[in-house]
Amino acid sequence: MTAAVLIGAVIAALYLATAPVWAILTLIVTLLAAWEWSSLAHGAGQPLNHPQRAIFTLGVGAISVGLASLSLNPLWLFLPAALFWWLIAPIWLSRGWASTSARLLPLGLLLLPSFWLALVNLRAIHPNLILAIIGAIAIADSAAYFTGRKFGKHKLAPAISPGKTLEGALGAAVGVTLYGLALYPWWPLCGINCLPRGLGFFWLLLILSIVGDLFESWIKRQAGVKDSGTILPGHGGVLDRLDSLISTLPVAALLWHWFTR
């Protein structure tokens, strides 16, 4: 029931809301994610108190609105977050760096505004673009889950998320490939040359979605919690539902501007 409500609300806002309303609604969601993010950051082994979490959440909002008002080139808006997910996050996970507040709070001030700006930017290009990306992530998650349950034997990252398997990741890759091929008739009309770039786009998003999922799993494990929050019945917190999108949407926005320039 929660999923049905969320899907309906997202589609309605995506296609019916005006640009300012979309920006406000998605900023509220981003601030909820920021509040949960701050709950996972521990200073000197102690969780942050409510005033500290409120300051961080307001900081995310102020940076988001401030960057939006500057009308910067998409390269500067999304490249720092993209570099984190491409380069730093895999190193962070492989080395098992601790998620202290000194690391996690500045990181949140970078990643969460970039996520919100990507939501606004991609929707301004076309709502179908965001829907296609969300669909790819959903297909990847479902294919990984069912393939992993049926065939999973080799753990992908047992120290971080024991349920994820290499077989599940391969199943996700197959699912995303079929999804991309199914969408091909609706891609820009540039002939067969679009196919390699389009599939590469989806494959990259798949990899980044896995990284984002593992990263949130790691910081939750460090904080000693199962879910980032309890606001969504049966689903945990807002951050639990956005982890893959936070890692993919800024990169998608960056690549889309690069592909179409």
User: pLDDT tens digits for 43-69?
Assistant: 556 778 889 999 999 999 999 999 999
Judged by average pLDDT, the poorest of 74-88, 136-150, 157-171 is 157-171
| Position 233 confidence tier, pLDDT thresholds 50, 70, 90 | low
In the predicted model, what is the mean pLDDT of the chain? 86
According to DSSP, the β-strands at 161-165 and 46-47 are: unpaired
Beta-bridged to residue 144, according to DSSP, are none
Q: Report residue 59 as tokens.
A: 């900081």
- Asked if pLDDT for residue 191 goes beyond 70, the answer is no
Per-residue pLDDT, averaged over 173-181, amounts to 90
Domain ranges within the chain, ordered by starting residue: 2-260
pLDDT digits (tens, 9 = 90+) for 106-148: 999 999 999 999 999 999 999 998 999 999 998 998 898 889 8
Per-residue pLDDT, averaged over 23-39, amounts to 94
- Asked if pLDDT for residue 104 goes beyond 70, the answer is yes
| Own/partner pairs, 143-151, CB within 8 angstroms, 24+ separation | 143/168, 143/171, 143/172, 143/174, 143/175, 143/176, 144/168, 144/169, 144/171, 144/172, 144/175, 146/171, 147/171, 147/172, 147/174
Instruction: Name the more confident of 253 and 193.
Output: 253
